[in-house]
Amino acid sequence: MDFPPTTVSVSNARVDSATYPDAVAPDLVGTYQALAKAGGGYVWDDVLEYRVWCHPEGGSRDDYYYPFATYAEAVAFSQRTEGAEPPLALILQREYIDEPNPGEYLHVREERITEWPVEFLRRPRRTQNTIPDFLSPNAPANRLDILRGLSSQK
């Protein structure tokens, strides 16, 4: 099913559906475990699917979600479905940054799958230099600028 690009308001910002990449393997959408990590890791490698979580009226049954290969499909469904949340992105992190304590960052070299607010996908996709640049003693005072694509190490 094709949906035209959609513009929605998210936290008082305008977001165009063309901003978000399609799922890396559309044929696998809907096959991932329902339970995933929530947020964190600071970087992303691939979008696996977009999820729209639904909450039945009156809590008559458990929450459930619908998976989509594109943000446009997910946001269109979310906007027309009662009890639906805005879409989340299920992402793959091949490596990520752990922050066990505020300001203490660790480079974790293992894969994990986590759900993210789609707005986090506005950060550039992780490159081989993203995490080393972030952890570098020469990183800018606001290290998060590296993750936002606003600064890099030379």
Neighbours of 79 (CB within 10 A): 13
Spans of the chain, pLDDT less than 70: 1-18, 58-60, 152-154
> Is 16 a domain residue?
yes
What span, in angstroms and rounded, lies between the C-alpha atoms of 149 and 11?
A: 21
Task: Express each pLDDT in 52-89 by its tens digit.
Answer: 999 877 666 788 999 999 999 999 999 999 999 999 99
Phi first, then psi: give them for residue 127, nearest 5 degrees: -115, 180
Q: Is 2 exposed, middle or buried (0-12, 13-18, 19+ CB in 10 A)?
A: exposed
What pTM, to 2 d.p., does this model score? Answer: 0.83
Whether 82 maps to a domain, the answer reads yes
Residue 116 in any domain: the answer is yes
Instruction: Classify residue 149: in a domain, yes or no.
Output: no
In this structure, is residue 142 part of a structural domain? no
How many domains is the chain built from?
A: 1
Is 95 part of any domain?
yes
Structural domain of 93: 7-123
**What pLDDT shows up at residue 6?**
43
Q: Pairing between strand 112-117 and 37-38?
A: parallel
pLDDT at 140: 86
- Asked if the structure places residue 43 within a domain, the reply is yes
Give the pLDDT of residue 16: 57
How many contiguous H segments (helices) and E segments (strands) does the chain have?
3, 9
* Cβ-based neighbour number of residue 3 at 10 Å: 15
Location of structure tokens 């979580």 = 53
Is there a domain that residue 134 lies in?
Answer: no
Please state, in angstroms and rounded to a whole number, the distance separating the CA atoms of residues 42 and 91.
Answer: 11
Determine the pLDDT at residue 152. Answer: 64
